[in-house]
Structure 1
């Protein structure tokens, strides 16, 4: 599978770290990276990462090339991807966050890539795909959105619960680490709460996850509401889901069925340990359910709490979905 990365930010750099960690013969070849920032800046931010720590290999630059452990990765710096030659690229990973219209989303195809996978919600995509929820709908779609990090944790879980006991209604709160959409100090933003300093307060706000769950699981449309609280933490977020089941259920058998389904899933995990968020850094799962925090009240209310590394886990799903597309 021949890949290219457009946008060498948090997700683009994390994807490269994961590609480099794959064993030889994994079948992934990175043909090029495009980012408008200077190459020296990109190399520095790849080598020294405040969240995942320094890259343990050798990072150098040669003219327009990033060299990591002897691997030469050509670098371009165009703000319009359609001007770059991407012939031979199977899937372009668009990690810029700006591919929200069809004309921008299609620039990779115009440059010669066979397909484009967008690292976030995008109205410009033909289809939104979440692994474990609706990848069977992928078909031969050319412009695909990988949804959001929270949706990748939530959608497979609610599909699993719905198959086990049926969902009447549910509410999800994501306790989410701060991101670049929030300022370091108070500064104007469209969302007044998000205009406050991200590392100083817990900030109630919205999440796109419930809208995207409606899109990828239309059989549950209108049954799941959601909200977010941005918290002063740099990495690892959580999903707190409360479900009203469609039928009376026994706690032991319901949680047993859920645990068995999670154990059989390649993208979900379970822990019986009393972990905290920093323990989940760089975990590749879309969601790791916290067993001690998961329980039933009565015969129909189920509460599930799960952790997800919103950068590392999401980047792992980008590569998984790219394999399906290629």
Structure 2
């Protein structure tokens, strides 16, 4: 008989005895720790912890475990969450006219490499409705019409979809529209974007042409949380590939697409496995 498994995450002011209290709580509630990771940040004075455990005592209910953990969080002034380890988070994908990241995420999802449910895809263009249909995922075309209030109405529809589908994560898989401050705030901590540089540079149109013009030697990508500051949210993952003078802008772009796919997929996987904890303007990622 398999036992229900949980992922416990927490953050709080660093203090003596946190690991002792948490592990003791789990033992007292019939849980066996499968793996555990923790980190104390000397700068922010915060402590972060992630524990994967199995509830082996059939006499302890899910409700009792959650109530006990809530009480422990209150006692120790911790921000904590308790997730079912094998419940797949529900993810909304958003895309415009560049589809490599969308295609990569859908393949990983269909292949079982990405433990998520994808109830909807949103786009301001129609380019990928057939791709969505091939995966049997509803495609929502939400164009940005001209005129006052168009963006507000479109973003209201996005929020409606998030609510109706109980979305836990929004992934901007090359969604090339600037989100309003209000939508960024509504998505705080649960929206990930991919940026085509390992540094916040080459903004605007044709970034790889800009990179080629500057003679860059590294092509990179950055996955980060969405905030009201464009491409400046807390960084989750980055990677790079070397390039050289013999490569034209198209070659750089092809390499960049591959890096973007890998970096975004890692960030999404770590999020849905509850491995990312925010630490102010940074993140702690328990890999």
- Is the pair's TM-score, using the shorter chain for normalization, greater than 0.5? no
Normalising by structure 2, we get a TM-score of 0.39
Normalising by structure 1, we get a TM-score of 0.35
